[in-house]
A and B are shown apart, each in its own frame.
Chain A
Amino acid sequence: MLLLVMPMHAQQNIEGVITFNRKQNYISIMSKLPHITQEDVDRMSLTWGKMGDGANYELYLQNNKSVYLRKEEQSENGYSWKKDQFVLIRDYDSKSQEDLIETLGKVYHIKEDLPKTKWKILNEIKEIEGYLCMKAETKNVIKGQTIHAWFTDAIPMSGGPEGYGGLPGMILEIDINNQDAVITATKVLLNQEEIKVPYPKKIKGKKIDRLSYNEMVKKYIDETIEGKKNPYWRVRY
């Protein structure tokens, strides 16, 4: 018996929450930095070889809009670290988006039109949380990354985690640079009950356009690598 979810009608208002788990493979990320030797990689794999549990994110869908943010979780070991603000709002009706990103010591607020991502469609399919997904590929020029997205046309909404979208269906997995970071859907709850979308109470941050923001991040990455350090402790990979 096949337990795959059948497609919804495009006209249907999709309302629900998709939970994503984001895992990063620091060793693989660092092994690509020019100052890291094979010996460093071996040493890191020996000591830190096991990947952690990652972080959980939620993508809220309602009225053809989506909000992607870190899942609020109760700390289990009793110590709470402050999480950097990271909220990505997408409005597919007005074709606009708004990002609140805390990085490099400040909260930045970027408001712009939905960008057009150039996707290549690949010949691979797999199942994620009961949804049959196809594979697509794009590039992140700023960070020099190859992005693979697994999307499903069974959820006819062009969104996804980490701000990615523009495919003929919801993205349920993003794979950055061949498993350096993987963001996978772990729970899909759609059209089951009314949800309350946690829009930020106030949008407070330094207004910046995407171009200047990218330039700033790129400069930090380049300078940090030149200084023989890993930029991705501070900048999201």
Chain B
Amino acid sequence: MPSRISQSILFLFFCLSGFAQKNSFNVTGVVTDTLGEPLIASTILLLEKQDSTMVEFTKSELSGEFIFRNIAPGNYLVKTTYIGYIPTTVDASAHDGKNINLGNIEMSELAEELMTVVIKAAKAPIKMRGDTIEYDATTFQVPEGSTVEDLLKRLPGIEVESDGSILADGKSVNKVTVDGKSFFGSSPQAATKNLPAEGIGKVQVFDTKSEQEEITGATSESTEKTMNLELKEEFKKGAFGKVIASVGTINRKELKGNFNKFNKKIQFSLVGVGNNTGRNGLSWDDYQDFMGAQAWNWGNNTDYGFGGGGFRTFSFGGSSSGIESSIRSVFFNRGGTQGFPENYNGGLNFNYDHNDNKLSAVYYYNQAGVAKDGSSSRERFFQNFTTKEDAINIGDDISYSHRAEVELSKEIDSLHFVKFSFNGAQINENKFSQEFTTLSEDGELRSTADVTNDINTQGVLGEGLLLLRKKFKKKGRSLGLNTSILYTELDEDWSQESSTTFVNEASSLDSLSLISQTNNNIRDKVQFKANALYVEPLSKKFFWQTFYNHSNRQETGDRVVNDMFQNELQLNEDLSRIYDNSIILNRVGSSIRYSHNGVNLSVGLAYQNFDLVGDFQGAEGSSVLGSVDKQFTNWVPNFSLNFEPFSNSYAGINFSRNAQEPRIEDLQPVVNNLNPQYIIVGNSALTPEISNDYEANLSKSYPLSGTRFNFRISYSSYDNQFSTNEEVDQFLVTTVQPINVDGGTNFEVNSGLSFPIVKNKLTTRLRLRVSDDNRVSFVNSVENNTRTISYSPYIRFNITPLDDIGIYLTANLNFRDTRYDINVSQNQKIRNESYSVEFSAKTIWDLLFSANLNYDRYNNDRFDLQRDIPVLDLSVSKPFLKKNRMEARLSLFDVFNQNVGFTSIDNFRSENRILGQYLLFSLTYNIRGVKSSAQKKGWH
């Protein structure tokens, strides 16, 4: 408080001293037009001469007169402004206390041309510099492909003669510069005739100064002018890209490159990757660089539903695999660690975006191969016995695919949007596997199987989508319509050789089954979809939303199975099938939504009908013949509430019921004998699975302290859950059939907390996930309830004491407690631990050292399992060349040579050989320069 008072006193003192100051003076004057007529109520500003800081302002009287009183001595300018006139500035400095009378200040009218063409029509600001006037050329519309000369012809005050010479304000322009630099020697026409007009931002015209004037600063009335053309920012942008090439021991190689060129309208990019290390190196950044403006897809969800507005849903990446996968999924594929990979992929992307028209086209080639070599074991528990399966497997998979996606969209006007897209793909895939399995019961051998499968698949895909969005004059009313058609054709050739032995209880060979089969399967699929969504505002806060979904999936298949018998192919009538089926879904739903000030509440109900129709028959002459014809109807309610209870916090409560129709192959009694010890048959009695999903969440952040907290709880209960019934025969051959069961539940809690211990230096993040899962299945007609309780705590420390040091410590634990109600003695507790230490430091000469240690430990007391897998990677890198355009890096992967693909889930364990220790030398060339950092990049 005292400081406030003293401030006020000080202020008062200055004011008083200002009034009382010696040598203070008055400035008077009259504002008139060029004819001497007074300009009434014009604004007059008193400015400090040094930097134009405003001291005072006033308005002129009816007579055009004005006065500034009691001005402290100093150097001033008086600036007069009046609508339609060029602001005029005159000097008004005084130090001796003499009043100044500026007399008549004559203001000249803005040229009509400048006023109407520049100010009104082009809405361009005009700048006065002495008596020259400058304005922004970007606002002048010229047809596409125009040259600067065409642009100049439109600018007021500039004339272009027939020979191309330029006059500005009647004076000839003898010099044209671009961004201040001389262009193509001294001929001004060279620039104006050749440069495209759309690249020009500003046109400035000023007096050409002679060499002498430049030095002395003296000015004289010049007869010649210089024109400077300032380029637009986006036209200065060119391209960026990089190439990384690596070679290593054990014949490891990597090559990766990308290149981008873009301006405001067009984006063009290339990417290519080849390696046999499995580190395909395509990161999130590469994805964003490649897809450009198409990286984030808004509104790609065309199956409308209860969601808010149904339009602005957001998706990225790809989930489906095989022929229906997308280009995006290549970038997010983190597979390939379970073997020896070899990958080649690359593509090009083109985006055009101008005047509400968008076109994007992308092509991608992907060749992915992986060779596997491993073993697995599985224990199974029955009421009165235990089985163990040991397998050795070898696999060699390779796939080649070409994909192209084209999308065209247009914003017809502010109310209408239309989009068309087409995707095409071709795939060729070969999967080879060899497996040797032994099955034993309570330690006694029951069966062995030696199986070789070789599957070759060729497929094509075509998919088209048309989408229309319409808004109405009435705010909030909207309509969305879309229709799509998908066609796929798969031709699968599969040969199987297997020999299975069965051992009886007396430990002697009971029987031997030899299978030598070829299998040709042609499958066609056509899926037609049509969706509609209509939103009607009931008031400013209430909306009524209605949607309709239609989907019609038609599948036909012709599977011909031949047995090789005495070197001759014989049709297997029982396994061969011709089938034809369709699933038609119709869903109509409606919801009422309240949306206001961060509170969004939606209550809705939908009615859906599945119609499943199928026919199947065996090969000619076979007695296998049947059909499936089922209708299912469900009511699906939906409730959702999202709100912001406090500042920077979000909370939500959601309930939904979801129905999932059975897969058609599960409905058909087709036998799958890919694994002769594990035979899968269909079940025509399957009904849709219904899940009731409840969810609640809360999150809050404290921006000042940097603390964040989130909590989520979810619970699902199932009716008619999809499960399996397994029948195990005396030789432990399992026949499995999909069935519906009741009583399955899933409960999950997720929570997280992150906060800085020392701001920007030491941050910690804690997470805990707890889940309780109850699953029902049948084994030899006995109900089996398996309950799995899992706790996963996680802790991480980010330590960044200096700019050039980054240390990241992580511990990720998983405790799993699995209980079997049919055989309590087999209950087991599993503990998987994963620790990691990542260390990076930048030292002298820009050398960057990195060490990453990943330590995985698997424990299962029930099987006396303890497995430790420490993997340490080291690397050192150094940038060089101008702008650090190159970087050399030497890496040593898996220093301890202990890396292995290991899995341990409940009663299943598998181990696959993967790449171990190797040394890799990499060179990077980056147009933009390599910027290595010891610290991880977070969100900007």
* Chain A residues in the interface with B (C-beta under 8 A): 2-4, 6-7, 9-10, 30, 33, 35-40, 42-43, 45-47, 49-50, 74-83, 102, 104-107, 118-127, 132, 134-136, 153-154, 156, 167-169, 216, 220, 223, 226-230, 234
Contact = CB atoms under 8 A, between A and B. Distances in A.
Interface in B670-725: 701-704, 706
Interface string B328-361: 0000000000000000000000000100000000
29 contacts: A2-B84, A4-B83, A38-B928, A38-B929, A39-B240, A46-B267, A76-B471, A76-B475, A76-B476, A76-B478, A77-B312, A78-B309, A79-B309, A105-B648, A105-B701, A105-B702, A118-B53, A120-B52, A120-B53, A121-B47, A121-B79, A122-B52, A123-B129, A125-B119, A126-B126, A132-B83, A134-B87, A168-B57, A227-B760
B53 to A, nearest CB: 5
B260 A132 contact: no
A37 B879 CA distance: 16
Interface in B466-515: 471, 475-476, 478
Given A35-B940, A104-B703, A168-B54, 8 more contacts: A2-B116, A30-B940, A42-B237, A47-B293, A76-B476, A76-B478, A118-B53, A121-B45
Contact of B127 (A38, A124, A127, A169): A124
Contact of B125 (A9, A36, A74, A126): A126
B126 A125 contact: yes
Interface in B309-327: 309-312
B710 to A, nearest CB: 16
B476 A78 contact: yes
B924 to A, nearest CB: 12
Question: Is the contact region of chain A dominated by helix, strand, or loop, or is it mixed?
Answer: loop
A208 B144 CA distance: 55
B825 interface: no
Contact of A105 (B41, B309, B704): B704
B54 A78 contact: no
Contact of B759 (A124, A154, A223): A223
B545 A78 contact: yes
Q: How large is the interface on B (under 10, 10 to 19, 20 to 34, 35 or more residues)?
A: 35 or more
A34 to B, nearest CB: 10
Contact of A10 (B59, B125, B760): B59
B595 interface: yes
A127 B471 CA distance: 32
A140 B784 CA distance: 71
Interface stretch (B284-292, B364-372, B565-573, B855-863): B284-292
Contact of A227 (B262, B537, B759): B759
A6 B703 CA distance: 48
Contacts of A226: 760
Contact of B87 (A30, A123, A234): A123
B295 interface: yes
Contacts of A124: 125-128
B599 A9 contact: no
Q: Which of A6, A76, A119, A223 has the most CB of B within 10 A?
A: A76
Interface centre among B81, B115, B288 (most CB of A within 10 A): B81
Nearest to B130: A123
A42 B476 contact: no
B84 A132 contact: yes
A118 B54 CA distance: 7
Contact of A50 (B119, B293, B648): B293
A7 B41 CA distance: 8
B703 A105 contact: yes
Contacts of B45: 121, 168
A33 B126 CA distance: 32
Nearest to B134: A124
The winner among A40, A83, A135 for most chain B CB atoms within 10 A is A40
B931 interface: yes
Contacts of A46: 260, 262, 267, 288-289, 292-293, 295
A33 B703 contact: no
A2 B293 contact: no
B54 A136 contact: yes
Contact of A230 (B79, B87, B124, B940): B940
B821 to A, nearest CB: 45
Contacts of B935: 228
Contacts of B597: 80, 82-83
Interface in B67-87: 79, 81, 83-84, 87
Q: Which of A46, A75, A82, A153 has the most chain B CB atoms closer than 10 A to its own CB?
A: A46
Interface in B201-228: none
Nearest to A84: B647
Nearest to A219: B704
Contacts of B126: 124-126
A153 B940 CA distance: 42
Contact of A47 (B125, B129, B295, B598): B295
A124 B114 CA distance: 13
B26 interface: no
Given A46-B288, A74-B540, A82 B54 contact: no
Nearest to A209: B4
B476 A74 contact: yes
Contacts of B54: 118-121, 136, 167-168
Contacts of B52: 120-122
B83 A6 contact: yes
A39 B292 CA distance: 13
A6 B510 CA distance: 108
Given A2-B120, A39-B931, A105-B648, A78 B289 contact: no
A136 B45 CA distance: 12
A35 B938 CA distance: 11
Interface in B851-904: none
A40 B644 CA distance: 32
B83 A74 contact: no
Contacts of B83: 4, 6-7, 132, 154
Interface in B565-620: 593, 595-600
Contacts of B120: 2-3, 127
B760 A223 contact: yes
A134 B79 CA distance: 11
A127 B596 CA distance: 37
Contact of B595 (A78, A105, A120, A223): A78
B14 to A, nearest CB: 12
A186 B608 CA distance: 48
B123 interface: yes
B543 interface: yes
Interface string B422-462: 00000000000000000000000000000000000000000
Contact of B598 (A43, A78, A82): A82
A36 B935 CA distance: 13
Contacts of B599: 80
A77 B308 contact: yes
B43 interface: yes
Contacts of A4: 83-84
Nearest to A77: B309
B10 to A, nearest CB: 14
Nearest to A80: B595
A76 to B, nearest CB: 6
Given A9-B41, A74-B537, A75-B595, A43 B940 contact: no
B845 interface: no
Contacts of A119: 53-54
B407 to A, nearest CB: 16
